[in-house]
Amino acid sequence: MQRFTKLCRQLIKTIMGYLKGNVAFLIMVFLILFIFEVDHVVSGSMEPTLMTGDYAIFTKVRFGYKPNRGDIIGFNHDGEHWVKRVIGIPGDMIVIKDMYVYVNGEKIDEPYLENVGITYGGDNTIFAVPEDEIFVLGDNRLASYDSRYWNEPYVPVSYVTSKYRFTIYHAKTKATTFEEEIL
């Protein structure tokens, strides 16, 4: 009888071990499917914030998400997945003048840029951000293909899939110009 009790305890212990492992696995699968996504950064357009080769955690966004200026977002555009920073939200007027970005007439503070005052493209063009759309730029203004250059410069908010939270692996590689990026 003692041997049977010992076997039962061992069996229960083994089953509980499997259950704990499976529950942890199921929680992880749930989080990945519905809450988080891991993105591998494949371009230098967001340097120095996100380096080529980095792995970053993004939270998935749902219907009704309202982006804020400064958010780093993942979105689908022209059949590709992109990661950029939100510069303009619905109703904003964006102007790139003397290589600085102005939102609603005010030069914006961009501490995340490695080289401030090097925003080329769209000089003195006024970008009036429509309702339910956003204007986005990469942090590496010399190597980012973004709202400044697209035929349709605005990204519908409905295209936004995720919001950046943190980097889990920093690759520490760097592409400094658009030419290096495409060669």
pLDDT in tens, 132-178: 999 999 999 988 999 999 989 999 999 999 999 999 988 875 554 44
Residue 76 C-beta-side C-alpha neighbours within 13 Å? 6
| Cβ(47)–Cβ(140) below 8 Å | yes
| For residue 16, pLDDT beyond 70 | yes
Tell me, what's the pLDDT at 139? 94
Residue 43: active-site member: no
* For residues 43-66, average pLDDT: 90
43, 45, 144, 162: which one is catalytic? 45
Among the residue ranges 83-87, 122-126, 173-177, the one predicted with the least confidence is 173-177
Residue 45: active-site member: yes
Tell me, what's the pLDDT at 178? 44
Spatial CA neighbour of 48 closest among 72, 27, 26: 72
| Cβ(137)–Cβ(84) below 8 Å | yes
Mean pLDDT score across all residues of the chain: 85
**Radius of gyration (C-alpha) of the chain in whole angstroms:** 23
| Cβ(39)–Cβ(74) below 8 Å | yes
CATH number of 41-182: 2.10.109.10
84, 144, 147, 162: which one is catalytic? 84
Among the residue ranges 37-41, 76-80, 106-110, 179-183, the one predicted with the least confidence is 179-183
Q: Does the model's pTM come out above 0.85?
A: no
- Which residues have a Cβ under 8 Å from the Cβ of 170 and sit 6 or more positions away? 51, 54
Tell me, what's the pLDDT at 160? 96
| Cβ(76)–Cβ(167) below 8 Å | no
Q: Which residues of 94-115 are buried (b: 16+ CB within 10 A; e: fewer)?
A: bbbeeeebebeeeeeebeebee
pLDDT category at 1 given cuts 50, 70, 90 is low
